[in-house]
Structure 1
């Protein structure tokens, strides 16, 4: 149904509480039935009854509010066009630096047509799920089974694990063929999930899966892979990695959880405690580091008798499923051994590079979201009679943010290119140091970007809803990246130690 057009004079005649129209960006809204429901009370709307509220609206609300309450729109102002474009689901942002350079019209040696097609398809899928993902985050609840299965059916879960044989038979977004799927496609899917801006929900959905399922893919028996992989990638089951303990974080060798063989040799009896386990509360399967008689081993443990999980309260949403996991006399078949007994350290180390690289991709997009938010806010917020963007100090802050984000992102693209052209063993030899240093640099970047963004948004940066929601989430959660997957200090030291392994016998 086509909307009516009204003159501004006609709108001005609807200026009472029971007959209240307002104009926002050349569109006319009938607020008569909404005025008493307005969260800020009736006065802010009554103040603009019959008038144009565009400037004040955008000083107080995100544009998505117009989408949410579109049902109150009754027409447009005659001979006027909206000044502000509402981004449609799946569309790219036109805000400077809101997308990486290849999607801002710049040339790139890395991306092919399939990558552009893939991003559009993934974004369209995820944009359609964003509101529900945010609800999980805000309410601190478990992402529903239906939601996870939707991601599985769309090929999103499998895409998060990267290229490999596990993609056979999977229909990927954008009709990308499994054999052409590479790490740049995977980078895109991690970035697009990060665009939800719901760090807890994101971790609860794929955080545990991304770091645990490869232990089965690469070290599990054929029978284990046949059972576990389809269940997890379809979203029917959830999985996490359980290494960290109250007694051991980065020092993995100090774990105390034990696995003792039964006299008949058919089972391990597992006892111990794991802590800060992402997705642990929701997991059906646990890939667990244990002490065996002559070293460390990895076991696949299914939730059942003797397995208990308790919530751990953290800085971000409970929807991450962060848990204390307790194993008490858990009986595990020896067939659930991942890799060789007493050689579990190899399993633990095998996915560190990929895990850290995944964190890099999400961190880059998280910072880029902050840049986009700050650009938009600085253009629409007025103080002392000027837009924020008209203040040199604000432009300087934006410049620092953009320069930091673009520098780190270009390093990530370079590392991703190396991953696409190196086999696993060459990656292990050459990329551990650069990935560690890039992770260190990225979390330093997050610190600086979060700091500048908070100053630009002011008090709104401390508010979980409304204009500053994205910035508040970032400043509350960015330190996770500086600790999880290897603390900054460990990453910096690892990067230099790896470099010293190749240092020549040279002197000044």
Structure 2
């Protein structure tokens, strides 16, 4: 990621054409007209209501976005899938059920199923006649998901597998007609297609959760389940390829859903701020409230700029892939998918928190929708791999890239005239390399000292968002509000990266003289003059107050 991409080559949300926007509008109206009025029923686990919604979503084509046309799908791309997931993010618990079904509940068949499996399952999943689920997590194997205790042994006659075990916290458990189940075999972890109707399949009681109360979450119990040989998904012993690559795509889909929910929280906060009066003024007229709204908008702008950039790159890679190279093309985006999962879930956490704060005491009351959003948002930092696990993934891949590159630090800080945001990005990349150089020199064992990995992950995350926002803004001919948001993203992002670098040097370098030298080198960098972000945020807030559709 040393060289900045061509701004015209990246995909941005502004690049969607009218037909694609109509698909998004379909999802938006579906949530508004069909899902939102039934949120209460969904949260009371009236499963028939949820099933009806799935069938309606199927009729509208919303379950078929990434399914090939040959199997009843629309055969569209990751960008459109992301756009639909974003609009579905307004649907509370139903959005979780939808994402699991359309993501990990369907994509394993698309990418790893054989022709017979695709013909049998994909049309049912595309139509909503069947609901899909994904069974990876176990009571003793949460983050360590590739070491399942659920086991599968081949029958003596070689015609079927006998599967035993329990899978925990399975979304859509009470609703699902078919599960993708991962089990240990003598050859290694293997993925199996397990239908609900198979003898020995049962589901435990609904879990009582903090949030997303309307999504079904329960234990899947497998007791001597006979799974036909034809129901092995992918290759025997290669289930880890299915699990990890599908999770990569699921993380990106979750990121888009988080962006959608963040936009919903922003709109609720903005509308309430206009209505609520204190001291004979609308609270939205107070600059501290304006600052909160601007911070929320900036987070959303950076998150969607980065996520759509990656979706565009994935589409390009997939379009060039063959059946044999598809898995490798998808796995190339593991860092970016983990990055978006972390960034968007944490951005959502901050945004819903501020939305509640703007509502004041009313935000704590269940009569106000923002209270539910606050509770629902918390799970996003936990499922699809905890943010800690995803940070480890980011850092490992960054470190691998660093050890394989021959680029020098000096090439990053040549004395070239650059626009200020370009300077922030170039200096940020220099600091990342500096931090990794110090870690390498001190022979830090990253696996054992994970604090360093956390900081490296945060540095690459901030850098990627800075780049994405800058490229999007330049492509938009520096439209004023976008320019202001990019200025904030780059200035604040650089500060965070500088702080991470200082923390790494301070912790890693035990020699006082060397540590002082490293830190002095940072202080003497020719960084752009800091600008007044208060005024930029006020300008953003005033624009959004008058034109809230800029964040929609």
1:360–1:427 distance in 2 versus 1, CA, 3 Å:
farther
User: 2-side partners of 1:253 and 1:444: how far apart?
Assistant: 25
- Residue 121 of structure 1 corresponds to 26
Q: Which whole-Å deviations, capped at 9, do the CAs of 1:240-263 have from their partners, x for residues lacking one?
A: 000000010121222100111111
Are the aligned partners of 1:209 and 1:240 in contact in 2 as well (CA < 8 Å)? Answer: no
1:402–1:393 distance in 2 versus 1, CA, 3 Å:
same
Q: Are 2:390 and 1:491 aligned?
A: yes
- Residue 439 of structure 1 corresponds to 341
User: 2-side partners of 1:364 and 1:109: how far apart?
Assistant: 16
User: 2-side partners of 1:133 and 1:385: how far apart?
Assistant: 37
Q: C-alpha displacement at 1:299, in angstroms? A: 0.6
- Residue 131 of structure 2 corresponds to 238
TM-score (norm 1): 0.72
Q: C-alpha displacement at 1:186, in angstroms? A: 1.4
Across the aligned residues of Structure 1 and Structure 2, the Cα RMSD in angstroms comes to 2.0
Unaligned runs of 5+ in 2: 1-11, 319-325, 410-552
1:39-50 alignment runs, 5 A limit = none
Q: Are 2:107 and 1:202 aligned?
A: no
User: 2-side partners of 1:218 and 1:337: how far apart?
Assistant: 14
- Give the secondary-structure state (helix, strand or coil) at the position aligned to 1:270: strand
1:309-388 alignment runs, 5 A limit = 309-310=203-204, 311-388=206-283
1:239–1:169 distance in 2 versus 1, CA, 3 Å:
closer
Are the aligned partners of 1:133 and 1:201 in contact in 2 as well (CA < 8 Å)? Answer: no
User: 2-side partners of 1:250 and 1:325: how far apart?
Assistant: 18
Q: Which has the larger radius of gyration?
A: 1
- Give the secondary-structure state (helix, strand or coil) at the position aligned to 1:422: helix
Structure with higher helix content: 2
- Residue 407 of structure 1 corresponds to 302
Are the aligned partners of 1:208 and 1:280 in contact in 2 as well (CA < 8 Å)? Answer: no
Are the aligned partners of 1:115 and 1:184 in contact in 2 as well (CA < 8 Å)? Answer: no
- Give the secondary-structure state (helix, strand or coil) at the position aligned to 2:82: helix
Q: C-alpha displacement at 1:426, in angstroms? A: 6.2
Q: Which whole-Å deviations, capped at 9, do the CAs of 1:368-407 have from their partners, x for residues lacking one?
A: 1111111111111011221111212111111211111111
Q: C-alpha displacement at 1:169, in angstroms? A: 4.7
Unaligned runs of 5+ in 1: 1-106, 171-177
- Residue 202 of structure 2 corresponds to 308
1:1-12 alignment runs, 5 A limit = none
User: 1-side partners of 2:101 and 2:20: how far apart?
Assistant: 26
- Give the secondary-structure state (helix, strand or coil) at the position aligned to 1:289: strand
- Residue 184 of structure 2 corresponds to 291
- Residue 450 of structure 1 corresponds to 352
Q: Are 2:170 and 1:277 aligned?
A: yes
TM-score (norm 2): 0.66
Q: C-alpha displacement at 1:113, in angstroms? A: 2.4
User: 2-side partners of 1:367 and 1:131: how far apart?
Assistant: 16
User: 2-side partners of 1:110 and 1:415: how far apart?
Assistant: 14
Structure with higher strand content: 1
- Residue 42 of structure 2 corresponds to 137
- Residue 68 of structure 2 corresponds to 165
Are the aligned partners of 2:174 and 2:203 in contact in 1 as well (CA < 8 Å)? Answer: yes
* More relative contact order, 1 or 2 (CA 8 Å, 6+ apart): 2
